[in-house]
Amino acid sequence: MTEGQEASSEEVSESQIAVHWREEKYFFPPAKFIAQANAADPDIFEQFSEENFPECFRAYADLLSWDKYWHTTLDTSEAPFWKWFVGGKLNASYNCVDRHLATKGNKAAIIWVPEPESADPVAITYTELHRRVNEFAALLRDFCGVKTGDRVTLHMPMVPELPVAMLACARLGVIHSQVFGGFSGSACGGRIADSGSTILVTMDGYYRSGELIDHKVKADEAVEAARKEGAEVDKVLVWRRHAGEYASQTPMVEGRDFFVDEVLSDYRGQVVEPVSMPAEAPLFLMYTSGTTGRPKGCQHSTGGYMAYVTGTSKFYQDIHPDDTYWCMADIGWITGHSYIVYGPLSLGTTSVVYEGTPNYPDAGRPWRIAERLGVNIFHTSPTAIRMLRKVGPDEPKKYNYRFKHMTTVGEAIEPEVWRWYHEAVGKGEAVIVDTWWQTETGGFLGTTLPALGPMKPGSCGPMALGIYAVIYDEDGNVVEAGSGKAGNICIRNPWPGVFETVWGQPERFVDTYYKKYCKNPDSKDWHDWPYFAGDGAVQAADGYFRILGRVDDVINVAGHRLGTKELESSCLSVEEVAEAAAVPVVDDVRGRAVEMYISLKPGFEASKDIEAKITKAIETDIGKIARPKNIWIVPDMPKTRSGKIMRRVIASISNFTDVGDITTLANPEIVDGIRQQVRSTKEARGDAPRELTEEEKAEIKNFGTE
Ligand code: WT7
């Protein structure tokens, strides 16, 4: 498609936009890597071919220890609520801890690196992990009275007590719901209420960028926010960052708040039998944003999820028991659940947990950690890579570490940034896997098998074993590989890691993920139920996919999805605000940043004070991660005749791209004024966006269109 054609049509959908695909050259895995890889025999592709589905996933499930073997690999009778390994029973905590005791009891399961560099790393062996998990499980059961199937909310920072709490819940068959520690108390409270938890596990404080942050204060806010939604928290369990010293300013509430270290002394040495759970029993909830304000509690299963993360950790992360593996993500996101805790520990490896920010006290910190601990597998996000490249491009070479393998996850990585990761961080000798997946998918969907497929910067690669993807246009026609056209990427088949439902919102589960391309809503055949991922993608002639970003009203900031509706409703809680619209702006470090457009109620004037209130509201309702880069208070929003805010128009203004056809607006005359306001301010601050790529332009142009 030519420039002219592209500009002409208002109705051009994401799927019709030509992608200006510049082919990148391949990089090949070094022979040394191939020689030791877990998956090095190309026969594996045959083993996972479509004819062998779903039985191929036996290979993943057989990596686990089952109390009872399953009879049905995939049950589709309640499509699209798939059930994997039906009839099987197992315990996730047993698989991550107990089964390693006999052969690896004295090996480090977790090496925890506190942020202050003056403090030494702490190694927790499998034996020690077993002791801690059991004692905390005993406390949860006997002190809190939680039972199998109950939900417990965790709002924990990056400390070993977090995996301990997760595994203790799993031991009891209790469903944990960890809320990212950086989220606000109010966001946590909403998730407590949604999940129906009566117990909150938190910590008094933690270190972040050199500061001991008061975290317990958020627990009080969370309890309050949950109460507003009609949910009562009975007990708040507070771990202490420094045992015996309380790091928070907020008082402990009598009868509700308890210091874990104090209560735990009653459970010293107790052993709790792992509860044998049906494969399809929920293991945890992980909340994510969607197009409506209410967050979605993605429910992950025990058997399918554990099988999938164990299998993918083995084949794609290439984890061997004697590796030292470091995923720098936060355990509070799905990446951390799957690829810091459950996958690596199930394989009996050593998983590094780092408390703080990667560039504290300087951009050499990650490489010093890698050098000191002998990390050989490293896993992070494009945002972190961009940031480390920006502030310390020459740091990696100062340190004597060697990675055999590196991962990138969370958003598309620019080829330039990829090459720095490969050359500088990987010293040219590490393989890279660019893994595309989602909170909902439990584990990797798109990625190369590191010893068996070449890498191509900027593309995640083909799909993982047993994942059969297709790109559909808006009408459900297949967009062919090599056509240069983008469309909606879907997975044609179920896989063991896919989430089971949206907690308490089964109709939303079906509507959001399966309705769009469902061939027959009464069908029990999985072929009729493609999974709609909500991402735009293009497939090159070699079969490699390039993910272009979300097609819904979600903004990916630093690899994490923020719902525009959540941002907007937070702004509307500020008294003076009449209307709010959130749009993405291209950001060189975080990928995308949020900009808010605001119109005020009659009688109010724009002021710094109102802007500050809006920022505060967002920080309180969601967290600092969502803080807008700019807030534009405008006289009116560009709207359609039916009154809908045209987000693509303001998104174009923010990104200095062509606003396209605005003749159908009810108020086209206001566009120029807004553009001038935004442009002149950004230019004066030296904050004008760079020239966007064609893909980015397409994303902005389609933002918020339905
Ligand atoms: C969205 C999922 C997967 C765990 C972290 C984020 C985007 C994710 C990639 C990648 C291009 C990517 C997609 C996806 N995304 N990985 N390798 N290349 N885009 O989990 O918060 O559920 O976000 O992140 O848009 O839908 P999440």
Please tell me the distance between residue 551's alpha carbon and the centre of ligand 1 in angstroms: 12
Whether residue 18 has pLDDT greater than 60: no
Atom of ligand 1 nearest to the CA of 329: 5
Whether residue 3 has pLDDT greater than 60: no
Q: What is the pLDDT of residues 411-460, one digit of tens each?
A: 989 898 999 999 999 999 999 999 999 999 999 999 999 999 999 999 99
Note the pLDDT of residue 5. Answer: 34
Please tell me the distance between residue 330's alpha carbon and the centre of ligand 1 in angstroms: 14
Q: What is the pLDDT of residues 648-691, one digit of tens each?
A: 999 999 999 999 888 888 899 999 999 999 999 999 999 999 99
Task: List beta partners, residue 532.
Answer: 490
- Which stretch of DSSP H or E encloses residue 286? strand 282-288
Atom of ligand 1 nearest to the CA of 435: 17
Q: Is 385 in the pocket of ligand 1 (CB under 6 A)?
A: no
> What is the crossing angle of helices 161-172 and 126-138, to 10°?
60
Report yes or no: 137 and 171 within 8 Å, Cβ to Cβ.
Answer: yes
- Other C-beta atoms within 10 Å of 490: how many? 24
Query: Residue 371 corresponds to which tokens in the numbers above?
Result: 């050098």
Please tell me the distance between residue 412's alpha carbon and the centre of ligand 1 in angstroms: 8
- Other C-beta atoms within 10 Å of 14: how many? 23
Q: State the pTM of this model.
A: 0.92
Pair type for strands 431-435 and 405-409: parallel
Tell me, what amino acid is at 518? C
Burial readout 196-214 (b: 16 or more C-beta within 10 A, e: otherwise):
bbbbbbbbbbbbbeeebbe
Please tell me the distance between residue 242's alpha carbon and the centre of ligand 1 in angstroms: 35
Please tell me the distance between residue 603's alpha carbon and the centre of ligand 1 in angstroms: 42
Whether residue 12 has pLDDT greater than 80: no
Pair type for strands 199-203 and 235-239: parallel
Beta carbons within 8 Å of 150's beta carbon, 6+ residues apart: 174, 175, 197, 198, 199
Q: What is the pLDDT of residues 92-124, one digit of tens each?
A: 999 999 999 999 999 999 999 999 999 999 999
Higher pLDDT, 63 or 706: 63
Atom of ligand 1 nearest to the CA of 413: 18
Mutation choice for ligand 1 from 411, 417, 441, 539, CB with most ligand atoms inside 8 A: 411
How far from chain centre, in Å, is Cα 250?
Answer: 31
Atom of ligand 1 nearest to the CA of 440: 22
Please tell me the distance between residue 492's alpha carbon and the centre of ligand 1 in angstroms: 19
Q: Is 560 in the pocket of ligand 1 (CB under 6 A)?
A: yes
- State the pLDDT confidence band at 175, using cuts at 50, 70 and 90: very high
Whether residue 512 has pLDDT greater than 60: yes
Q: Is 435 in the pocket of ligand 1 (CB under 6 A)?
A: yes
Residue nearest to atom 8 of ligand 1 (CA): 410
Residue nearest to atom 12 of ligand 1 (CA): 411
Atom of ligand 1 nearest to the CA of 554: 25
Torsion over CA: 438, 442, 443, 445 (sign): negative
Residue nearest to atom 25 of ligand 1 (CA): 549
Residue nearest to atom 24 of ligand 1 (CA): 410
- State the pLDDT confidence band at 218, using cuts at 50, 70 and 90: very high
Query: Residue 285 corresponds to which tokens in the numbers above?
Result: 């909830």
Beta carbons within 8 Å of 452's beta carbon, 6+ residues apart: 37, 39, 40, 42, 44, 45
Pair type for strands 531-539 and 486-491: antiparallel
Please tell me the distance between residue 89's alpha carbon and the centre of ligand 1 in angstroms: 31
Q: What is the pLDDT of residues 281-336, one digit of tens each?
A: 999 999 998 777 788 999 999 999 999 999 999 999 999 999 999 999 999 999 99
Q: Is 535 in the pocket of ligand 1 (CB under 6 A)?
A: yes
Beta carbons within 8 Å of 303's beta carbon, 6+ residues apart: 61, 64, 70, 84, 85, 88, 90, 278, 279, 280, 496
Please tell me the distance between residue 440's alpha carbon and the centre of ligand 1 in angstroms: 10
Residue nearest to atom 20 of ligand 1 (CA): 438
Whether residue 10 has pLDDT greater than 90: no
Please tell me the distance between residue 485's alpha carbon and the centre of ligand 1 in angstroms: 21
Note the pLDDT of residue 695. Answer: 83
Tell me, what amino acid is at 653? I
Q: Is 288 in the pocket of ligand 1 (CB under 6 A)?
A: yes
Whether residue 11 has pLDDT greater than 50: no
C-alpha R_g of the chain: 25
Tell me, what amino acid is at 136? F
Please tell me the distance between residue 411's alpha carbon and the centre of ligand 1 in angstroms: 5
Residue nearest to atom 2 of ligand 1 (CA): 438
Note the pLDDT of residue 14. Answer: 44
Note the pLDDT of residue 2. Answer: 33
Q: What is the mean pLDDT of residues 340-352?
A: 98
Q: Is 434 in the pocket of ligand 1 (CB under 6 A)?
A: yes
Whether residue 579 has pLDDT greater than 60: yes
CA distance 534 to 263: 45
Q: Is 439 in the pocket of ligand 1 (CB under 6 A)?
A: yes
Please tell me the distance between residue 651's alpha carbon and the centre of ligand 1 in angstroms: 21
Q: What is the pLDDT of residues 475-507, one digit of tens each?
A: 999 999 999 898 999 999 999 999 999 999 999
Please tell me the distance between residue 471's alpha carbon and the centre of ligand 1 in angstroms: 17
Higher pLDDT, 11 or 698: 698
Q: Is 382 in the pocket of ligand 1 (CB under 6 A)?
A: no
Atom of ligand 1 nearest to the CA of 434: 17
Please tell me the distance between residue 44's alpha carbon and the centre of ligand 1 in angstroms: 26
CA distance 292 to 383: 26
User: CA separation (Å) from 125 to 99, 336, 346?
Assistant: 13, 19, 14
Note the pLDDT of residue 503. Answer: 98
Q: What is the pLDDT of residues 28-50, one digit of tens each?
A: 999 999 999 999 999 999 999 99
Tell me, what amino acid is at 98? D
What is the DSSP-derived secondary structure letter of residue 427? T
Residue nearest to atom 5 of ligand 1 (CA): 410
Beta carbons within 8 Å of 507's beta carbon, 6+ residues apart: none
Task: List beta partners, residue 433.
Answer: 407
Pair type for strands 405-409 and 377-380: parallel
Please tell me the distance between residue 441's alpha carbon and the centre of ligand 1 in angstroms: 10
Report yes or no: 177 and 286 within 8 Å, Cβ to Cβ.
Answer: yes
Tell me, what amino acid is at 156? M
Note the pLDDT of residue 663. Answer: 85
- Other C-beta atoms within 10 Å of 671: how many? 18
Note the pLDDT of residue 21. Answer: 58
- Residue indicated by tokens 């059930």: 83
Percent of the chain with pLDDT over 70: 97
Residue 349's closest CA among 374, 372, 366?
Answer: 374
CA distance 156 to 162: 6
Please tell me the distance between residue 626's alpha carbon and the centre of ligand 1 in angstroms: 17
Overall residue count recorded for the chain in this entry: 706
Mutation choice for ligand 1 from 561, 562, 622, CB with most ligand atoms inside 8 A: 561
- State the pLDDT confidence band at 20, using cuts at 50, 70 and 90: low
Note the pLDDT of residue 694. Answer: 84
Q: Is 337 in the pocket of ligand 1 (CB under 6 A)?
A: no
The beta strand positions in 59-174, using DSSP E, are 72-75, 83-86, 89-90, 108-113, 122-125, 151-155
User: CA separation (Å) from 696 to 45, 80, 271, 681, 693?
Assistant: 34, 33, 54, 22, 5
Q: Is 561 in the pocket of ligand 1 (CB under 6 A)?
A: yes
